[in-house]
Structure 1
Amino acid sequence: MLPHCSLLLFLCMVQLLSPSSALPFEQKGFWDFAMDSMDSGGIMTMMRDEEEGSAVEEIPSPDTHMCPFGCHCQRSVVQCSSSGLTEVPKNIPRDTKFLDLQNNRITELKEDDFKGLTNLYGLSLRNNLISKVHPRAFVPLKHMQKLYFSKNLLTTIPKNLPASLVEMRIHENRIKKVAAGAFSGLGTMNCIEMGANPIHNSGFEPGAFKGLKLNYLRISEAKLTGVPKDSQRVLHESIIWDHNEIQAVELGDLSRYSRLYPCLTFSRLGLGYNHIRNIENGSLSYLPRLRELHLDNNRLTRVPKGLPDMKYLQVVYLHSNNINQVGVDDFCPRGFGMKRTFYNGISLFANPVNYWEVQPATFRCVSDRLAIQFGNYKK
């Protein structure tokens, strides 16, 4: 038994430590709330469960990355494709490097949708319903290099694209106009795919491609009736204008691309699936280092002039035209050693020319007879 005075002192101390005499609760963190909600029995239960390894692990630490609902997160990749999303999910981990949002029903990109994602390298928004993009939606993405925006409802190029962008695929939208300076500040851009948009020649404002130094530009399946004139001197490797309504290539059309030099192993001009009837003599001379020329599925009646002067040309697609004769000097120069590289592919099938009427010397600068395709050659 304790003395009377000692018992009184003990009861006073218990009273001071009881919740009724504590100061007002001030929550400073998650653990403040968790501990305050437990009574003495709860604390004892937590301590017992902790010994058994089943309590604290169930309550996430404040620093634990949470994966957005319906998404899968692993090694800086957040995959939210085909999840029925109508907006960009919240709480995307800040260390995310690739964010996959394709095949959803997202209609708009808001200003803070990508806030804090400074490490993002690639973003896929393919196959959504996006028609509106806030002018500052992409501002936080300081290091993004790849943007996949195809199969949406965009009518213009989004503003303030990251200066770090290297590749952008924005085909199959509803873009009718490319404003001046639409790609300003994108000095590192390497590839733009913007086909299957209803763009006419008048849809490119002067200066639309100013400042770009691309290796690849494709504007296929659009409404082009002629070679675009504003994208001059922005390309180094490939120009693709196939599946359009181009009817002719005039002398001045390709003079703007006289600096088309191969970045890797080839340079390519793609004009297949158009309505081209005529290529003006001398037009191809502005592309002296061209290696691939695609003119298939057009309305040509003869082999274009100037091919023998193209020392590096290796592949020529002329099939599915209206060519009815081939001259002995249509492909090869007369002088020995004039051509630096031999042809390794010439296609002439699906033309009204009879192969037995073409003289063998016509293909004297072709590497192998199998490189010539008339469509009726049998090994």
Structure 2
Amino acid sequence: MFANTKSLLSVVKAVVVVVVSITVLLGEAKTAEGGACLPPNDIEPCTCKEKNKGPSIICENASEEAILNSLAVLKKRSSVIYRLMFRSCDFQRVHDYFFLGLDVEHLTMSRSNISVVEESSLRTLAGTLQTLDLSYNNLHTVPTAALEHLQSLSFLNLNYNQIKILGQSAFSGLRGLERLSLYDNQMVHIEENAFSGTGDKLFRLNLGKNHLENIPNLQTLSKLQVLTLSENRISRVRVGDFKGLKKLDMLMLENNNIRALEANAFSELSALNSLNIKHNDISNISELAFAGLEDNLEWLELGHNRLDHIPSHALRTLQNLRQLDLDSNRIDNVPEDAFEGYGGNIKFMMLSRNNINYIPHMTFFDLHSLEWLKLSHNDLTALTEETVLPILDTLTMIDVSHNPLTCSCELMWLRSWLQDFTERETYKSFAQHNCFTENGHTKDVMGLSAKELGCPEYSKDDGACHYLAPNLAAATVVLAVLM
């Protein structure tokens, strides 16, 4: 009895193995058939490459007639096309049922002079289409009717078109949309409910390089995390402009015409982590400009503005700030308490290309975590060891190049750091640090001896002086070229 049972089990196992093997082989055969490309001559002028997820087909510099012939061949197959791309082709209109008989996951129709996308042109792709790229065309409006059936679409690219207005419910029906880009159009107005009907998945929106003069009403986009409004004509950020954007993590407002930051301008953005307001005309920042951002803001870019002082009172509340960019402003004075109370998290400080001529000894006293300090292209004639001593243990990069530094014993710490870096690193990517002698000659700081710097009291070893700075052996200094 036991022997018979054991024999039966062996037979069952063998059958299972055979069935599984056949199933796997059939699956592999089906996958191979679905992923295989047709002969090049059959779909000319299009080309096909086999990808793991299916065929990727590209049609370039082709007429509409040639494209239709290629599509007719492709429609005879039942496999899903992973990517179908039309680039620099010639068809101004995407006709109704253009893709009937095809299953496409990622569709690109760019640089093809398209001005009209007919209502039913994309309807047959509703079940499979995940991304759609219509960039570099001549669309003057969003083809709302053609898009509304694409409930599986996650990414829509309408960059580089001629769209001027986003009307009501322009993207209605796109319930699965996660990313939307309208960069470099001609938008002057966005209706309040332009994005209604898009569902609650949209997390990234690019409205950069348009003609917007005000921040549009986006309060229906409650899940938005990244918002780009750069390269517009926005001149003011008002209280309530960001109402409803409780999840926003990154806001880009660079290259606009903003002149001042008013109190509570960003108070609705309690989750904001990164704020970029570079390349504006900001000369005044309210003490309460960053109210509401105290707990989460880590990256703040205020470079290339018109600030003539460090806005210490406005910044002091940002206890989690990690990077502060104040490059290319008009700052000439750094008070001793400029960074007092900034918290222990700030790691990157950018103050290059200003008019700073002096930094008091206690200026960096509270910056216990500072790793990068950029002070190039200023008017500093000296930067003493006493000034940098509070941050020597944490600094991994410092740049004071392109300053009119005076060759003196006060630069011994800098010379030693430069030498220490070159001894341990095999490349030189930092700017040369020069100083000026009493007779006006320019000298490379790293090449000067202790005697030439007026420091005979330091030890000498074959003409080279070794500055005994605290914890120098444990520090790494990288001096980057800032052009």
Q: Same fold (TM over 0.5)?
A: yes
| Aligned AA (1:188) | K
Q: Which moved more, 1:208-217 or 1:149-158?
A: 208-217
Q: 1:151 to 1:348 in 2, by over 3 A?
A: same
TM-superposition CA deviations, 1:228-261 (whole Å, max 9, x none)? 541234142111000000001255232232x224
Aligned to 1:298: 354
Q: How far, CA to CA, are the matches of 1:187 and 1:366 in structure 2? A: 46
Does structure 2 retain, via aligned residues, the 8 Å contact 1:330–1:362? no
Q: How far, CA to CA, are the matches of 1:312 and 1:158 in structure 2? A: 38
- Counterparts of 1:274-289 in structure 2, within 5 Å, are 274-288=329-343, 289=345
Q: 1:129 to 1:372 in 2, by over 3 A?
A: closer
SS class of match (1:331): helix
Aligned to 2:214: 156
Deviation for aligned residue 1:94: 2.1
Is 1:348 the equivalent of 2:400? yes
Deviation for aligned residue 1:307: 1.3
Deviation for aligned residue 1:372: 8.7
RMSD: 3.4
Q: 1:137 to 1:343 in 2, by over 3 A?
A: same
TM-superposition CA deviations, 1:280-310 (whole Å, max 9, x none)? 2212122232101000000000235421431
Q: 1:59 to 1:150 in 2, by over 3 A?
A: closer
- Counterparts of 1:227-306 in structure 2, within 5 Å, are 227-229=285-287, 230-234=289-293, 235-249=296-310, 251-257=312-318, 259-261=319-321, 267-288=322-343, 289-303=345-359, 305-306=362-363
| Aligned AA (2:304) | H
Q: How far, CA to CA, are the matches of 1:178 and 1:248 in structure 2? A: 21
Is 1:79 the equivalent of 2:140? no
Aligned to 2:189: 132
Instruction: List alignment gaps of at least 5 residues for structure 1.
Output: 1-52, 262-266, 334-338
- Among 244, 249, 260, which residue is 1:190 paired with? 249
Q: 1:182 to 1:321 in 2, by over 3 A?
A: same
Does structure 2 retain, via aligned residues, the 8 Å contact 1:253–1:283? no
Deviation for aligned residue 1:113: 1.3
Sequence identity, in percent?
Answer: 22
Q: How far, CA to CA, are the matches of 2:316 and 2:99 in structure 1? A: 68
Deviation for aligned residue 1:58: 10
| Aligned AA (2:317) | R
Q: How far, CA to CA, are the matches of 2:309 and 2:352 in structure 1? A: 14
TM-superposition CA deviations, 1:136-185 (whole Å, max 9, x none)? 01122321000111100111111134010000111110111222111122
Q: 1:250 to 1:217 in 2, by over 3 A?
A: closer
- Among 132, 151, 158, which residue is 1:94 paired with? 151
SS class of match (1:147): strand
| Aligned AA (1:130) | M
Deviation for aligned residue 1:106: 0.3
Q: 1:326 to 1:105 in 2, by over 3 A?
A: same
Deviation for aligned residue 1:328: 1.9
Q: How far, CA to CA, are the matches of 1:58 and 1:154 in structure 2? A: 35
TM-superposition CA deviations, 1:55-101 (whole Å, max 9, x none)? xx99948x999x89848988511100011110111311221100000
Q: How far, CA to CA, are the matches of 1:303 and 1:199 in structure 2? A: 29
Q: 1:378 to 1:252 in 2, by over 3 A?
A: closer
Does structure 1 retain, via aligned residues, the 8 Å contact 2:183–2:208? yes
Which structure has the higher relative contact order (CA within 8 Å, separation 6+)?
A: 1
The two structures have a TM-score, normalised by structure 1, of 0.73
Does structure 2 retain, via aligned residues, the 8 Å contact 1:139–1:160? no
TM-superposition CA deviations, 1:212-236 (whole Å, max 9, x none)? 1311101111111134541234142
Does structure 2 retain, via aligned residues, the 8 Å contact 1:108–1:133? yes
Aligned to 1:330: 387
Aligned to 1:358: 410
Q: How far, CA to CA, are the matches of 1:232 and 1:366 in structure 2? A: 41
Q: How far, CA to CA, are the matches of 1:94 and 1:340 in structure 2? A: 56
SS class of match (2:273): strand
The two structures have a TM-score, normalised by structure 2, of 0.58
**Highest Rg: 1 or 2?**
1
